[in-house]
Amino acid sequence: MTTIGFIGGTGEEGMGLAYRFAKAGHACVIGSRSIEKAQGAVAELREKDAALDITAATNADAAAAGEIVVVTTPYAAQEDTLPPLAAAVAGKTVVSTVVPMSFEGGRASLLSVPEGSAAQQEQALLPGATVVAAFQNLSAKKLLKGGPLEADVVVCADDAEAKKRIMTLAAGIEGVRGVDGGALANAQMVEGITVLLVSINRNYKTQAGIRIAGIA
């Protein structure tokens, strides 16, 4: 059992991951700028399952409480949200689920990030943490709905031990396999896959995921 803090955890992605991690036996702390908003998200998840260990907090308290800290803010928010949390997450594994995506004329496109990827930007904003990129390609709707997902989570990091830890965390979600995606810089390509899936979801009216075929 690990305590997992969520930064900006009141959106679908944060709530969906907290739901699944809590179901797998972890303690989840949903952080938000607004404690009321965090409490609302927790109340919603408790309606699904009152036994889940999910609590509400400010982002600062979620960052302090988490042994692992998961960033589920929108891309546009992380430059403001993360720097004040740098001290609280120093020495910890921080998970970037963020996708730098914009919607224009109904089309999703990948934003160019000066650091290469949202995950690398996160690492630059939180220099004392060990950033691991993961979970970007999971459908938030499917996470929240419950039931097995049919998807791989490609995990990218420069620290082998932190990467392994998050691959194991991913594999705790029913139907999910953690795949070693190499260095943190590879997060750029994994973030891009989400943009592609958004387009595929629209064409096929589904919530698609990816599988890496041909690995044991």
Residues in contact with a copy of itself by CB under 8 A are: 107, 109-110, 112, 139, 150-151, 154, 179-183, 185-186, 188-190, 192-193, 195-197, 199-200, 202-204, 206-216
- Cα 49 from chain centroid? 21
Nearer to a copy of itself, 84 or 103 (CB): 103
Minimum distance from residue 85 beta carbon to a copy of itself (Å): 29
Q: The tokens of 206 are what? A: 């589904």
Nearer to a copy of itself, 68 or 197 (CB): 197
Is residue 95 helix, strand or coil? strand
Q: The tokens of 178 are what? A: 């953690």
Q: The tokens of 88 are what? A: 């609280």
Nearer to a copy of itself, 34 or 199 (CB): 199
Nearer to a copy of itself, 42 or 170 (CB): 170
Minimum distance from residue 18 beta carbon to a copy of itself (Å): 22
Apex 79 CA angle, 87 and 168, nearest 5: 65
Give the Cβ contact number of residue 81 at 10 Å: 19
Minimum distance from residue 213 beta carbon to a copy of itself (Å): 4
Q: The tokens of 188 are what? A: 């750029």
- The 8-class DSSP code of residue 92 comes to S
Nearer to a copy of itself, 22 or 98 (CB): 98
Nearer to a copy of itself, 127 or 214 (CB): 214
Minimum distance from residue 2 beta carbon to a copy of itself (Å): 25
CB-based contacts of 8, cutoff 8 Å, min separation 6 = 14, 31, 32, 33, 59, 71, 72, 73, 74, 77, 81
Place of tokens 């089309």: 107
Minimum distance from residue 20 beta carbon to a copy of itself (Å): 17
Is the distance from CB of 190 to CB of 154 less than 8 angstroms? yes
